Amino acid sequence: MTETAVAETDAGLSLKELARRNGLSASGRLPSLPDYTRQLWAYRHFIRAHASAKMTSALGNTKLGAVWQVLTPIINAAVYYVIFGLVLGGHEETPNFIAYLCIGVFVFQFTQTVVQTGTNAITGNLGLIRALHFPRASLPLSASLVEIRNFVVALFVLMGIVLITGEPITAEWLIVLPVLVMQSFFNVGLGLFMARYGSKVRDVKQLIPFIMRFWLYGSAVLYPVTKFEDLLGGWQLQVVEANPLLVYIELMRHALLQDATLANSPTVLWIEAFVWTVLVSIGGFVYFWRGEKGYGRG
């Protein structure tokens, strides 16, 4: 090896050592998962501020403002009650059909809005992404935080509807909190997944309304869950009843309704809910993290 080559090698090693000692890393390198998690925690104030700004921006130009957070699921439930409760006779098959329907609509819409906002979290903020350096998961996380806040408010209204329709307050109402926490983590993971997938496949945004409508009909939101047992059996019934949204809805009905007929025993529902929460929250986070360096390019 020539002296020039040796000098270049020594210089190269010195530069690497200098960079290492000063905490520098290669440009464009994907941070490790623990490092990425710490970065997100360091940006927690930005995530909260961004969520508050989005909420104010979305509702600030309307006369009723934040009231729409509650009015939207109530209006949806009223429309569905007229069609499925009165016209198709659902109120005759299910005890307290109004509360049964409202629980399904409120819980389903919680996940639906996270999916919709998550899909647009990257593509709708390309200017911010290209102008500033921050962990990109901050954007779908702030979008999910907005919907979690909205659902907490809507949940109090839902409890009021349940009480007005004749349901008593029982100890099982305490179940609402862990169900809320599990569904929130599930939604965050789903929002992260959709944020990356939506940034890669832009056309998926056009398909979301159809996908969510199909998911709505498969989650026993609008009719008794026993309808599935009349039409399906064996592994097909097991697959449908393991639907995560159906599981969260059933647990919420188990908490707030006394005579609700459930798709499975509460024990099975809790196990399924826990498994879905862990798989989707962790899986969605890892999937989004793997694409961190590609957001905003192209």
- Average pLDDT estimate for 114-134: 87
Query: What angle separates helix 266-290 from helix 244-256, to the nearest 10 degrees?
Result: 140
pLDDT value, residue 87: 59
Residue 260 has pLDDT above 90, yes or no: no
pTM: 0.84
Residues 6+ apart with CB under 8 A from 163: 169
pLDDT band at 7 (very low <50, low <70, confident <90, very high): very low
Mean pLDDT is highest, among 83-97, 145-159, 173-187, for: 173-187
- How far is the C-alpha of 190 from the C-alpha of 211, rounded, in Å? 14
Q: Residue 142 is inside which H or E element, if any?
A: helix 138-164
SS3 call for 277: helix
Residues 6+ apart with CB under 8 A from 73: 102, 105, 106, 109, 154, 158
Q: Hey, which bits of 3-54 come out as E strands?
A: none
What's the pLDDT tens digit per position in 65-109? 556 666 777 776 777 667 665 655 556 667 788 888 889 988 999
- Identify the residue with better confidence: 188 or 228: 188
Q: What are phi and psi of 88, to 5 degrees?
A: -95, 0
Domain boundaries, the chain: 1-30, 31-294
